[in-house]
Chain A
Amino acid sequence: MIGVAPPAYDPAAPESATTLPVGSPATVRAYVRELVRRHRRPFAVLMVVNAIGVTASMVGPYLLGTVIQDLSEGADDIPLGRTVALFTVALAVQTFFVRLVRLRGAMLGEQMLADLREDFLVRSVRLPPGVLERAGTGDLLSRITTDIDRLANAMREAVPQLSIGVVWAALLLGALGVTAPPLALAVLVALPVLLTGCRWYYRRAPRAYRSEAAGYAAVAAALAETVDAGRTVEAHGLGARRVALSERRVREWTAWERYTLWLRTILFPTVNISNMLIVGSVLILGGVFVLQDWITVGQLTTGALLAQMLFEPVGLILRWYDELQVAQVSLARLVGVREIEPDAGEHALAPDGRDMRADRVRFGYHEGADVLHGVSLDVPPGTRLALVGPSGAGKSTLGRLLAGIYGPRTGEVTLGGAELSRMPAERVRAHVALVNQEHHVFVGSLRDNLLLARTDAGDTELWAALGAVGADGWARALDDGLDSEVGSGGHQVTPAQAQQIALARLVLADPHTLVLDEATSLLDPRAARHLERSLAQVLEGRTVVAIAHRLHTAHDADVIAVIEDGRISELGSHDALVGNDGAYAALWRSWHG
């Protein structure tokens, strides 16, 4: 069999739903245009510098051609000194400008790459909370790590190098035309071969390289997972299966390597033959032209040397065009975030009072599948409301609606008479905060981790906030106090301390209403007990909606709402519900003995 068919299994095919949009070709093009426009001055400088360098590099072949011409005519007085002097000057210019081109190219490329990654993060932090909550951060995370990595080379090198290559090749062809017009035509002989081969290759290459890269990443991912799950792998005796999985990943990856190698088995001869055709046709056709006295020996020599110099820019163009093709997908994924409408919100809308009310709220994540079926609820200021009920009943969804993250499909959720979901996120969070199980501690100083809640807070306020949640003890014991590095790589805070940091942020942000989505459930029960005291400090004087997995949380609440199947089935105080002898009462008895 000649040739290799692309492998059936494509590791680049999405396995989980892409939750955020991927940029359309039009968006990508518009973005690239904008990027180039932003840097048009350095771009122009690069092109000029490049042109000077290339021109200087052509002096050598030209001088040699002249010398050969003189020699072949048997001239006695060859101005050797002048030739050498000219050659040296040209070399000095070329050296200087080659360095400049390389440097300027890198500077331009790095600036563009920096713009790209910063633009992406700027866009990401403006995403509406509802989009984030629904999409999760996994997709974004893979975009900012994997896709930026893949783009790095393309951005920093491909765009400048490709332009350099094009200018370079054009100048060489131009010089060839100036030296001896017929020779420039001889080069064209190679063009059909080059174009046919490249067309075949570029039709297949981008997809194949994407799959190959994904396949290689999958090899590493399988191993990383085995490491991460070491205990589980050992406990369940999965060692042999993990080895088998790794080997399957190696097979899938190498199958794509084999395919791309086959693609290059076509591309390489294409390029080589084109190169040889260029030199051959210039040399042989040119030789015939000399014999016909259409051009001179000197012109032929110069032409042949210039033709050889074409190899390099042609290689440059092919290589970076390839890279750019592969990078396009990553670029589309990065730029795709721009297609999400940042949430506008009505800035005029402001709550009047702290009364929270849900009125006949219906809501679902998917069309035709409501999670909440007409929930109405009234939470007067300062109330502690507990939502209890089985998993999947809609407790967390209701919590998110009350925190203004989602807007109801029908009905409305209002704070002080103003509809929460129509307010901008920045306005909502001044009043209501959602606290969930995610107690992210950012890489950086403890100060930065607290400042995010109130950027103008002074050290005294930060310490006061830490004190309020009972975290000042361990925080003061840190080597550098507020400047201590925490998060991964820095001081490892315990889950309980992470939670205290999250609570201290709330103290600083000071919203009057809190929605707690079982904030302590992932912690050890003992640690949770201790934290509940910190939490009690924070809750003091605020309206609290607590989604409770543990009944003791419910017991302490003013009002308990039992949610079943997206409806409120029981509503009242702990004592009232126990007295009712319904589902809550049964559970309570089993819990408390």
Chain B
Amino acid sequence: MLIRDLPYADPGVPDVRSGPRLLLWLGRRQLRGQAKSLAWGTLHMASVASIPVAVGLAVQAVVDRSGERLALAATLLALIGVGATVGDTMLHRTAVSNWITAAARVQQLLARRTSALGATLTQRVAAGEVVAVSTGDIEKIGWCVESVSRFSAGVLVALCVCAGLIAYEPELGLLVAAGLLLLIAVVLPMLPRATRRADLQREKAGRATELAADTVAGLRVLRGIGGEELFLERYRGASQEVRRAAVRTARMWALIEAVQVALPGLLLIAVVWHGTGLAMDGRISVGELTTVYGAVTFLLFPLRLVQEFAMAYSFSRPSAARAARVLGLRRAVEGRGDRGAALVDPVAGDLHDPVAGLLAPAGRLTAVVCGDPDEAGRLAARLGGHDAGVEDGESSGDGDGGGGNGGGGGDGAAVVRGSGAGTGRAGRGGTDAPDTARPAPPSVLLGGVPLDDVTLARARAAVLVQDKDPVLLSGTLRELLDVPASGRVPAHEALAAAQCGDVLDALRQGTPGLDGDPLEARVTERGRSLSGGQRQRLALARSLVTDPPVLVLDEPTSAVDSHTEARIADALRRVRAGRTTVVLTSSPLLLDHADHVVLVRDGRVAASGSHRELLGADPRYRAVVTRETDDELAEGTTHA
């Protein structure tokens, strides 16, 4: 795979049974690349290992005062130079390609898995884990997979050099080989400690960054009320802790480096000592002594590769385990719902929730008033169907996975860890348990068809639920509004209906080099540069563009001022004419525009009628929508 052909058309099905298996799977996807890297690496290191031979030849030639053999040494050195240069460059190219292709493959796999998981990911730890894999772990995984071939090339050449030395001068060769083994035996056990310290340091650095980011995020509060010094001191403390941890890590590395100087140095001394004796006895020549000296110095090079691989593996193991876990996440309801049911004409069907006894007639604007905002959220989610309720993932399986997924809480669909390769045993275990423990509540019906029995994609296309906190995806305004849609409502109409005029102005000012077309203005991540009310209106415009047969809006204008809200309420009716709309709200301005209003209390429909009817007839309703206190209610209607 060449870098220029990325991304992969199909990143494949990863082996997610464990971290090491994922690493292995990745390595096997790029066997060709690994082979190339191994070949070039061997050429490179063999060339570098031969430099001492040329040096020895040259020294000997000079001792023998032979210009001819000096020229020969020069030629050899030139050849070695070509080999080393080509080998090094190509090794680097192939190794980096292996790294990038492995990293890109995992990124693509993550993107696919994330999209498939959708809403279920917003819960609990899963979201944090996905981001951690994408930002930090992939680099380490790529590094580990890539370093295998370099490590192999290094070991191969080192073995050859040792074998050559042994064959050539057994005593010297054995001395060098023993020295190397000793060196590896001393250094390798020190590495885990160093990596542990490095991990600790990273953790502290992460915490300091978090503190700094947190302080900056709340800077307006600090500047407005005070306490800057308090928070500076806190950050200084954290920053100094990072520094101390880093110095502690450096202490370990300094020690390792010293060992790497001392032990090979001792080996060199032994070689000089023993070799000079041999040379004095005439058993080896002066040039050969120089070669042996150089060869020992060279052996440090593959040694570093051994060390690097050991580190890469120990750093990447937890990363690979986490990646395997994330790539193995499955929707609890994946596959369920495909019971062959089909929605005949979603536009013409009434939306009926048997649990609350709520009926939203086709083509009408129904407003729902809930006393409790959490209850409103639950109701909105249920109206969309495919709402799996609370399902705990598998409790068995790998030990560190359970902690993340266990524990109840939260609503909506849950995430289950299953195995990727289709064995599905763990996944099924996760979905079966809740089914038997507590029967799922009856599904919402659209035109008489249970939404849960329709495929997820069809159900979502028929009923769009805009939750209380819709997220604006970054990109241009045009991209934001470019969602799968019926095409009936053009972008400008939706923007006008949601009263987005001032939002367009704000976006235009925030985008450099924008000429004219406000649709090219950029929305930053989550629309952070906009106010809460502006974000709500853009999200509403997006939902209006989609123009789904059924639109469920949960508090769509809670952060919008009354003037604007009144205009939105008016436009909403117009744009949604002939379509089914359910608005969960307690704002009189919206309620006044609804075809009919339903009051839900304790999960059941308690009253229904028009806004004005209910306002006059139902004191509970009046309490929720006018926000009068109980005292005022007792006093009677003072502001009628």
Contact = CB atoms under 8 A, between A and B. Distances in A.
A89 to B, nearest CB: 11
Interface in A217-248: 219-240, 242-243, 246-247
B93 A265 contact: yes
Interface in A301-338: 301, 304-305, 308
B471 A232 contact: yes
A111 B240 CA distance: 9
A593 B216 contact: no
Contacts of A587: 562-563, 566
13 contacts: A121-B215, A223-B107, A258-B4, A268-B88, A276-B80, A308-B55, A391-B533, A392-B505, A442-B218, A455-B226, A455-B229, A521-B533, A593-B588
Interface in B415-457: 457
B119 interface: yes
Contacts of B493: none
B209 A148 contact: yes
Contacts of A250: 6-7, 104, 107-108
Interface stretch (B57-65, B154-162, B167-175, B353-361): B57-65
Interface residues of B, number: 171
A30 interface: no
A421 interface: no
Contacts of A220: 131, 134-135
Given A72-B63, A227-B130, A254-B6, A264 B230 contact: no
Contact of A223 (B131, B509, B639): B131
A270 B154 CA distance: 23
A137 B219 CA distance: 8
A16 B522 contact: yes
Contact of B240 (A14, A114, A523): A114
Given A225-B474, A388-B561, A124 B230 contact: no
B243 A113 contact: yes
Contacts of B280: 71, 76, 78
B477 interface: no
Contact of B532 (A224, A300, A437): A437
Interface stretch (B12-20, B249-257, B308-316): B249-257
A95 interface: yes
Contact of B227 (A91, A99, A136, A451): A451
5 residue pairs, one from A and one from B, having the closest CB atoms: A452-B227, A106-B250, A234-B118, A246-B111, A392-B502
Contact of B212 (A76, A138, A148, A433): A148
Nearest to B374: A524
A125 B100 contact: no
Given A391-B560, A593-B612, A156 B246 contact: yes
Contact of A521 (B279, B559, B612): B559
Given A144-B216, A246-B108, A276-B84, A284 B246 contact: no
A78 B62 CA distance: 20
A563 B266 CA distance: 85
A102 B212 contact: no
A121 B232 contact: yes
A547 to B, nearest CB: 9
A590 interface: yes
Given A17-B510, A227-B127, A95 B262 contact: yes
Nearest to A86: B269
Nearest to A295: B62
Interface stretch (A202-210, A375-383, A525-533): A525-533
B85 interface: yes
A484 interface: no
Given A94-B261, A107-B250, A138-B528, A16 B511 contact: yes
B239 interface: yes
Given A129-B220, A434-B224, A550 B562 contact: yes
B461 interface: yes
A444 interface: yes
Nearest to B460: A237
A308 B77 CA distance: 13
Nearest to B616: A593
Nearest to A515: B224
B265 A117 contact: no
A522 interface: yes
A225 B528 CA distance: 13
Nearest to A439: B221
B592 A442 contact: no
A243 B113 CA distance: 9
B589 A251 contact: no
A455 B418 CA distance: 51
A88 B273 CA distance: 11
A284 B77 contact: yes
Interface string B194-237: 00000000000100111111111111111111111111101110
Nearest to A229: B471
Interface string A561-593: 000000000000000000000000001001111
A552 B627 contact: yes
B107 A110 contact: no
A102 B259 CA distance: 12
Contacts of B212: 117, 121, 144-145, 148
Interface stretch (A40-48, A285-293, A344-352, A475-483): A285-293
B117 interface: yes
B111 A251 contact: no
A26 interface: no
B13 to A, nearest CB: 15
A340 B512 CA distance: 21
A91 B114 contact: no
A125 B223 contact: yes
A591 B565 CA distance: 10
Interface residues of A, number: 164
A221 B114 CA distance: 13
Contacts of A280: 74, 77-78, 81
B7 A17 contact: no
A443 B211 contact: yes
Given A148-B212, A219-B107, A284-B70, A525 B373 contact: yes
Nearest to A452: B227
B89 interface: yes
Which of A68, A113, A454, A551 is the most central at the interface, judged by chain B CB atoms within 10 Å of its CB? A68
A261 B77 contact: no
B36 to A, nearest CB: 14
Given A91-B261, A125-B228, 8 more contacts: A88-B269, A127-B219, A261-B3, A391-B564, A429-B223, A433-B225, A442-B215, A448-B234
B607 interface: no
B261 A68 contact: no
Interface stretch (B179-187, B339-347, B462-470, B574-582): B462-470
Given A106-B254, A122-B232, A83 B272 contact: yes
A3 interface: no
Given A140-B216, A593-B588, A392 B501 contact: yes
A513 to B, nearest CB: 13
Interface stretch (B145-153, B286-294, B394-402): B286-294
A354 B205 CA distance: 46
A167 interface: no
B505 A230 contact: no
A236 B77 contact: no
Contacts of A287: 58, 61-62, 70, 73-74
Nearest to B260: A98
Given A144-B216, A145-B213, A440 B122 contact: no
Nearest to B246: A110
Contacts of A551: 562
B7 A238 contact: no
Interface string B267-292: 01100110011011000001001100
A39 B374 CA distance: 57
Given A16-B510, A117-B212, A261 B96 contact: yes
Interface string B550-568: 0000010011111110100
B540 interface: no
Interface stretch (A59-67, A168-176, A408-416, A458-466): A59-67
